[in-house]
Amino acid sequence: MNAMRRIMETQPAELRRILDDPAPAEHAAVRLAGRRILLVGVGTSWHAAHHGAWLLGADAANAADVAAYEREISPDDGIIVLSHTAHTGYSMQVLERARATGAGVVHISGIGNGGDVETVAPEESYAYTASHTGALLRIAQIAVALGAPLELDGIPDAVARVLGRPGPLIEVPQRLVELIGAGPNAWTAQEGALKIREASYVAAEGLSSEQFFHGPSVALDAQDTLVALDGGGPMAGRTEAIAVALEATGARVVRFAERELGEALSVFPLTVVVQRIAVELAEARGVSPDRFRYEQDPRREAAFGALGF
Which CATH number does the domain housing residue 161 bear?
Answer: 3.40.50.10490
Residues 102, 258: Cα–Cα separation, whole Å: 40
The verdict on 124 and 138 lying in the same domain is yes
The verdict on 97 and 215 lying in the same domain is no
> Dihedrals φ, ψ of 60, to 5°?
-135, 150
What is the chain's percent helix, strand, coil content, to nearest 5?
A: 50, 15, 40
Beta bridge partner(s), residue 252: 225
Q: How confident is the model at residue 309 (pLDDT cuts 50, 70, 90)?
A: low
> Dihedrals φ, ψ of 57, to 5°?
65, 40
Residues 120, 39: Cα–Cα separation, whole Å: 19
Give the whole-number percent of the chain exceeding pLDDT 90: 91
Q: How confident is the model at residue 252 (pLDDT cuts 50, 70, 90)?
A: very high
Q: What is the domain extent for residue 275?
A: 156-285
pLDDT value at 308 more than 80:
no
Q: What is the mean pLDDT of the chain?
A: 95
Residues 219, 197: Cα–Cα separation, whole Å: 19
**CB neighbour class for 23 (10 Å; exposed up to 12, middle 13-18, buried from 19):** exposed
The verdict on 135 and 162 lying in the same domain is no
The verdict on 237 and 137 lying in the same domain is no
46-91: pLDDT as tens digits: 999 999 999 999 999 999 999 999 999 999 999 999 998 887 789 9
pTM over 0.85: yes
The verdict on 176 and 249 lying in the same domain is yes
Q: Is the residue at 193 inside a domain?
A: yes
